[in-house]
Amino acid sequence: MRFLVAGAGIVGLAICRELQQRHPAARVTLLEKESAVGRHQTSHNSGVIHAGLYYQPGSLKAQLCRRGAGLMKDFCRAHGIPYQELGKLVVARDPAEAEKLVQLHERAVANGVPGIETMGPQGIREIEPHVHGVAAILSPTTAVVDYGQVAAKLAEEFVAAGGELRQARGLLGVRQGDTGIEAITDSGRVNADRVIVCAGLQSSRLARKLGHPSDPRIIPFRGEYLKLRDHAAHLIKGMVYPVPDPRLPFLGVHLTRHVDDTVSVGPNAILALALEAYRRRDISIADLAQTLTWPGSWRLAKQYWRVGVKEVASSANRRQFLRLARDYVPELCLADLERGPAGVRAQAVSRDGRLVDDFAFSGDRDVLIVRNAPSPAATSAFAIAEHVVSGILAGKVA
């Protein structure tokens, strides 16, 4: 059996590992358009191993996040990759948000999140002495890791087990050949029996090239972070998150301590002017046209334009970012903040303007495409791999 996987982010790498484990005799080829693995969402995220608090019970996100978190920690322990269970506090700022915590607690329990606790102001202070709130939920098993390190180890093991990693090789198309599927790359052709596309930001563009539907389409949202300067990093011990507002498309600003002991503040969420816009000056006319010609983009904007204005304001004005962070850590001041990294979220948006909330796949017996895999995809990578490969071996779309 010959498998071709396109995209060497953490999901694509995990799928290659799963294929090798279930089919040791199979030939697995991994294409990556960049010169190294894990160059995009894998290495431009918060590094959180999510416990599964937020997701609709019974959804793929809920199921695969819970299983994936355990598998991710197992992999890290087995390979000496550092991770830390720092715990997450979801903090209510007022009584109205405290009421929403009740529903969040019920959802977390339904999803089997371990060790969930509710607490008041005193409990918050005992865990995070500098954080203010009227109530909170503690998820003690939420952890942080460097997903770039995980990806590098996966790539190393993949090659050692006989996999073929072709870097700086992009997938351009596929066609049915005399000996199976003929994948056309920018450096030649590869024959395969099954093709699996895990292209993240490029997934909807590749789907169209491969003759699959354009709905949903990936719309890139740039997320910018600030960092606490060294003298202020002690203000956060673990992770401090806002209570999610179901009316809004993204979670909002939160504070996260990472495995290197830096503390990030953010992200915001603004429309990116290119699929891979990690710098503010990154602009692609082709990518922007792909976004602006999609009817769903305009319908989404119509629903959330007020939120969008606030997000742009936080990007342009560090004081606005500070104001959001001070809702949780009042003693923060402007001198405590410096510019941090940025990432781009590959968010699938349907033609009617809905954010695709769950993990989504499409395809046929020959080609399977991962169409939507935003957070918690990194947490869930090994479980997504199990799900996808089980579907492939059963002869159906995941």
What CATH number is associated with residue 380? 3.50.50.60
Question: Domain for residue 8, yes or no?
Answer: yes
pLDDT tens for 321-366 read: 899 999 999 999 999 999 999 999 999 999 999 999 999 999 887 8
Largest CA distance in the chain: 70
Q: Is residue 372 part of a domain?
A: yes
Q: Are residues 132 and 252 in the same domain?
A: yes
Q: Are residues 200 and 331 in the same domain?
A: no
pTM for the model: 0.96
Q: Are residues 318 and 193 in the same domain?
A: no
- Angstrom CA distances, 309 to 223, 224, 243, 285, 352, stand at 14, 15, 21, 22, 22
pLDDT digits (tens, 9 = 90+) for 152-181: 999 999 999 999 999 999 999 988 877 789
User: How confident is the model at residue 397, as a pLDDT?
Assistant: 62
Please tell me the distance from the alpha carbon of residue 292 to that of residue 358, in angstroms, as a whole number.
Answer: 23
Same domain, 257 and 236: yes
User: Same domain for 323 and 369?
Assistant: no
Range of 259's domain?
A: 84-143+219-349
Tokens of 217: 């389409």
Could you tell me which of 217, 374, 371 has the C-alpha nearest to residue 294?
217
Q: List C-alpha distances in Å: 161 to 149, 157, 276, 289, 343.
A: 18, 6, 31, 42, 31
- Cα separation values, 162 from 26, 35, 168, Å: 9, 20, 19
Helix 60-79 vs helix 147-160: crossing angle, to nearest 10: 70
- The answer to whether residues 313 and 247 belong to one domain is yes
Q: What is the pLDDT of residue 306?
A: 83
pLDDT, one tens digit per residue, over 201-245 is 999 999 998 989 999 999 999 999 999 999 999 999 999 999 988
Residue 200 in contact with residue 194, Cβ under 8 Å? no
Kindly state whether residue 237 falls inside one of the protein's structural domains.
Answer: yes
DSSP state of 43: G
Give the confidence band of 396 by pLDDT, cuts at 50, 70, 90.
low
Number of domains in the chain: 2
- Comparing CA positions, the residue from 362, 395, 353, 356 lying closest to residue 203 is 362
**Percent of the chain beyond pLDDT 90?**
83
Q: How far apart are CA 116 and CA 142, in angstroms?
A: 10
The full DSSP string for 90-144 is: EEESSHHHHHHHHHHHHHHHHTT-TT-EEE-HHHHHHH-TT---SEEEEETT-EE
Q: What tokens were used for 381?
A: 């990578």
Contact, 4 vs 194, CB < 8 A? yes
Mean pLDDT, the chain, integer: 94
Residue (of 146, 156, 172) closest to 33 by Cα position: 172
**Domain annotation covers residue 152:** yes
Whether 97 and 229 share a structural domain: yes
- Clarify whether residues 258 and 303 are in a common domain: yes
Pair 127, 256 in one domain:
yes
CATH code for position 287: 3.30.9.10
Question: 54 lies in a domain?
Answer: no
Q: Is 305 buried (19+), middle (13-18) or exposed (0-12) by CB count in 10 A?
A: exposed
The reply to whether 242 falls in a domain is yes
